[in-house]
Chain A
Amino acid sequence: MSTTEEKLKAPKEPLFSKKNKRLITDPLSDNNPITIQVLGICSALAITVQVEQAFWMSISVIFVMVFGNLIVSLLRNLIPSRVRIIVQLVIVASLVIIVNESLQAFVPDVSEKLSVFVGLIITNCIIMGRFEAFAMSNKPFPSILDAVGNAIGYAWILVLVALVREVLGSGKIWGANIFGNNLPGEESGLYALGYVNNNLMILPPMALIVVGVIIWVQRSMNKELVEEN
């Protein structure tokens, strides 16, 4: 009994305490889900050919993650532990279907661009990982912050990789030519000087190499992140 009374008496934690702020800032760099935890690599590989796709994918993931973490956190004391993974899966799957149906109904153009990849959010290990590691044992508000942090940590890497790949692979940003026109016979800008897009950038392996370069840069800037062997 005494412990619960002590808990009640403890001063209320401010909404954005230092601890809560860290929930958002940590996943952006020092504990980034992609570059440090190396989760969610599959989608980083699949939809980073163009910035626009990566952007809409990120928005969808942020939505699924925030509401998923919130729902799991609200239900955390009710979910039977033996079926908790299945329950989490049902929650992600339902949210993804809601996102997919809404995109199809209200922004059909975006839905066409993302095509099958929205469905693949279900398989994004970051989401299940946060449900299991954080939302199952934390209150709703910190869970939302944790979701926002991790989703944005995922999103900015995704957009960055897409930017590198679209610029070098297609010579475009958000579908707009930046080096000039490269249509055969009517080259202009850099293409007229003999510049050629690097088609290798468009192929999936280059996503891994770009992510690898980001990891390298990040670890050489912060030696604490380097694992000791």
Chain B
Amino acid sequence: MKVNKDGNGYTFAFSIILVIVVGVILSSLSIGLDPLKKANVAVKKKMNILSALGVESTRQDGSDKYDEFIKDSYVISHNGVLQEDLPEEKKAFNLDVQKQFRDKTIEVSDRLYPIFEAEKDGATIFVLPVVGKGLWGPIWGFVALADDYETIVGTSFDHKGETPGLGAEIAQDFFENRYNGEKIADNGQFTPIKVVQNGTGSEEQKVDGITGGTITSKGVEKMVNKTMRVYYKYFSKNK
């Protein structure tokens, strides 16, 4: 039987078969690899939390070290009130703060803020996730606060697609370390930390920005201040 390859019937049949075959291959691949991808994302999150604590970890030992250092985790509301009896997906580790930040149907006042309580060298350290906007897309990270509830002892930042060599440098140690020792409060009052361009970052409440990465640096400033203000509400009530 001779098939007319220019006919409508053949074209439709070929397209339908192609789409079904491709659909089946891709969806089974995606479902098959899903557990691996989820595990990778979870380990990466643990590594980021540990990195803010100043603990180096790899993909292999990330989970073990997380269990070793993180003693407790809980969630507070935008007003700084401890939340209890949350469903599983809103528990501190499972709560996707980036998704919550993107989701415009969630009011700012309804956002939830997780706290990871860690113990390192005998001292309690609070690791707090932060989310914000860079130049090209989302930026996020973790800020570690000492048990005086105001001194930053470590940060780790990451980004989706900031310019390599410029804004993307926020994820480098040299920038993250500039936050160390800064205080988010003075005499019990919240005080923002400025990212500056004039090289005066060594002064109090100031951090040097990144040359050529101004918008991303300012994004970090806004992200840290906005989120720390919420956390400080909780800490000032509970210290």
A-side residues, CB < 8 A to B, are 49-50, 53, 78-83, 86-87, 90, 94, 97-98, 101-102, 104-106, 108-109, 112, 115-116, 169-170, 183-184, 199, 202
Partner of A104 from the list B6, B25, B40, B59 (CB cut-off 8 Å) is: B40
B-side residues, CB < 8 A to A, are 5-6, 10-11, 14-15, 18-19, 22, 25-26, 29-30, 33, 36-37, 40-41, 44, 59, 160-161, 163-166, 174, 199, 208, 211-212
B36: chain A residues at CB < 8 Å are 105-106
27 residue pairs from A and B, CB less than 8 Å apart: A49-B163, A49-B164, A49-B165, A50-B165, A78-B14, A80-B5, A80-B6, A80-B10, A80-B14, A80-B15, A81-B5, A82-B6, A83-B14, A83-B15, A90-B19, A94-B22, A94-B26, A97-B26, A102-B33, A105-B36, A106-B36, A108-B40, A112-B44, A115-B161, A116-B161, A202-B165, A202-B212
Name the residue on A nearest B208 (C-beta): A184
Partner of A169 from the list B26, B29, B165 (CB cut-off 8 Å) is: B165
Min CB gap A16→B, angstroms: 32
Instruction: Determine the main DSSP class of A at the interface with B.
Output: helix
Closest CB pairs A-B (n = 8): A105-B36, A105-B33, A202-B165, A108-B40, A49-B164, A80-B11, A170-B165, A94-B22
Contact between A50 and B26, CB atoms less than 8 A apart: no
Contact between B26 and A98, CB atoms less than 8 A apart: yes
B14: chain A residues at CB < 8 Å are 78-80, 83, 87
B19: chain A residues at CB < 8 Å are 90
A50: chain B residues at CB < 8 Å are 164-165
Instruction: Determine the main DSSP class of B at the interface with A.
Output: helix
A-B contact count (CB 8 A): 75
Name the residue on B nearest A197 (C-beta): B165
Report how far A184 CA is from B19 CA in the complex, Å.
Answer: 56
Report how far A78 CA is from B199 CA in the complex, Å.
Answer: 65
Name the residue on A nearest B136 (C-beta): A116
Q: A80-B14, A81-B5, A94-B26 are in contact. Are A199 and B212 (CB under 8 A)?
A: yes
Partner of B160 from the list A101, A104, A115 (CB cut-off 8 Å) is: A115
Min CB gap B119→A, angstroms: 28
B37: chain A residues at CB < 8 Å are 101, 104-105, 108
